[in-house]
Amino acid sequence: MQIRTAILALILPLGAATNALAEAPLSVIEWITQKPPDGFTSPVLNEPPVSNSVGHSNIDVSSLDAAIVAIGLVPGNVTGLPADLWLGSDANVLNGLIAKVSVADYPAMQRLLYTLLLSEALPPSTHNDAETLLLARVDRLLELGATDPAQALIELAGATENADRFARWFDATLLNGDEDKACAAMATAPHLAPDYAARIFCDARRGDWQTAALTLETVHALGVLPPADLSLLDRYLSPDIFEGAPPLPAPDGPDPLTFRLFETIGERLPTASLPRGFATVDLRDVAGWKAQLEAAERLTRIGALGPNRLLGLYSERRPAASGGIWDRVRALQNFETALETGSNDAVAKTLPEVWQAMRAVQLEVPFASLFAERLVGLSPQDQIDQGTKTLIWQISLLGPDYETPAQTPPDDTDLTHYLAALALGQPGSTKAPDATAAAITEGFASKPTLSQQRRLDAGQLGEALLRAIILMDSGARGNPADLASALATLRAVGMEDTARRAGLQLMLLERR
């Protein structure tokens, strides 16, 4: 129940085109400490229910002992997605799609992917299909750096059911600093251990140094681990013997256990060149402030960390150096100070600098989610110069409430008129300023392609949405037909807010 409540807090405030727009969204993983508002039952994306055109697969009859249950951290009445969104598709196809969909550039697509990965849903057809889909979901969450939801999802499914699940759970707990749970489970089911290194590590963690040392001696005799692993384990179990010895060579592509062993022996590996999931380790207090900042930016950029956590780190102390991330910290702190003073002149001087700093690291939408409402509330507006007004207005279109500012455009340019119309869901009512805008307009006016409509009619909703994310990425790279198809698919299943946000982000973010 505690996990369910926490996940609701992660996913509820993901944005809406209606009354929920006034609340700043949380990203995937402020769910650890936040609680959902009382009585809040809106879907994840705060969209209307999916279109009636989405069909449902026929009911299959099977014995009760072979029943397949829905697995997910967020129930359907919150996500707005049906429990059978995967049933019409092939699990191997879904596996490939989940692994390859690109969401690095656009937060609207990040939210959609997280919703699909976390939604409570039935797997396709058989138990083998269920396992394939579950592991694909967990693997993608780990790849995105959403290690806490990955751990929670595998625990909900049953982390000790088989070796494949346990291996992923073990990795997630190592990254989250929660490895004692996995080690306790391994003690009761040693056959689940990924390898001897894991058994030695866990025996030592549990205080059974004698067993750990005996196992290591046996492993040395049998030669069943690579020499580099043996050297690392020797230093882990016998640090006094190697005191003053030169550091071990840094490994290429370390796994989470290797990373934690290096950390334990005092030779911590930098995470910048490692997969994104390792960045979560740097959020702990054992890392320096710079490492924490870089990890937080990396995870916030992909939607795996809430903007408020990043803001807290930015504001933690005054930077003692200059250049790179320190310039971003200083720009953000100066901007916050200007907002606190209530001086429009101070805001006008600091906003362009901090905006360019956020753009440099693709954190425009998290910045907008934090400050758009306060910027729009600056008064009197007639004391703000036109350039600052336009910048504030565009930032507000990337924030939680884009409809309200859209009703009062700051100038009379074609781009401004188009952005306002798009935010109100009527891009066809005004002139498209460029080819991308024309493709967005087409997407709002057209129906899904025949292939996408066939998937929807066959009940392959999850697959159709994954393909829409892929089409969105292709469209952003210059394929207008794919962009139109992606937006048409989203609108056909009732995800109007997601379509508008995707269009606004495509027009306003410097990704193309």
Full pLDDT tens readout for the chain, 512 residues: 444 444 444 444 333 333 332 333 334 444 433 443 333 233 345 555 554 444 444 544 544 444 578 999 999 888 899 999 998 899 999 999 999 999 999 999 999 999 999 999 998 877 788 999 999 999 999 999 999 999 999 999 999 999 999 999 999 999 999 999 999 999 999 999 999 999 999 999 999 999 999 999 999 999 999 999 999 999 999 999 999 899 999 999 999 999 999 999 999 999 999 999 999 999 988 789 999 999 999 999 999 999 999 999 999 999 988 999 999 999 999 999 999 998 899 999 999 999 999 999 999 999 999 999 999 988 766 678 899 999 999 999 999 999 999 999 999 999 999 999 999 999 999 999 999 999 999 999 999 999 999 999 999 999 999 999 999 999 999 999 999 999 999 999 999 999 999 999 999 998 86
Q: What is each CA distance from 415 to 142, 332, 405, 427, in whole angstroms?
A: 39, 28, 15, 11
pTM, two decimals, is 0.87
Q: 104 is written with which tokens? A: 């690095």
Helix 307-314 and helix 325-341, axial crossing angle in degrees, nearest 10: 90
Whole-angstrom Cα distance, residue 490 to residue 501? Answer: 11
Phi, psi for residue 71 in degrees, rounded to 5: -125, 130
Whole-angstrom Cα distance, residue 398 to residue 177? Answer: 34
Q: Is 47 helix (H, G, I), strand (E, B) or coil?
A: coil
Using an 8 Å Cβ cutoff, are 194 and 170 in contact?
A: yes
Using an 8 Å Cβ cutoff, are 60 and 29 in contact?
A: no
Answer whether the bond into residue 433 is a cis peptide, omega within 30°. Answer: no
Q: 360 is written with which tokens? A: 């440099």
- 411: how many CB neighbours lie within 10 A of its CB? 12
Whole-angstrom Cα distance, residue 88 to residue 145? Answer: 29
Residue 41: what pLDDT?
32
Residue 271: what pLDDT?
95
- Three-class HEC string of 106-170: CHHHHHHHHHHHHECECCCCCHHHHHHHHHHHHHHHHHHCCHHHHHHHHHHHCCCCCHHHHHHHH
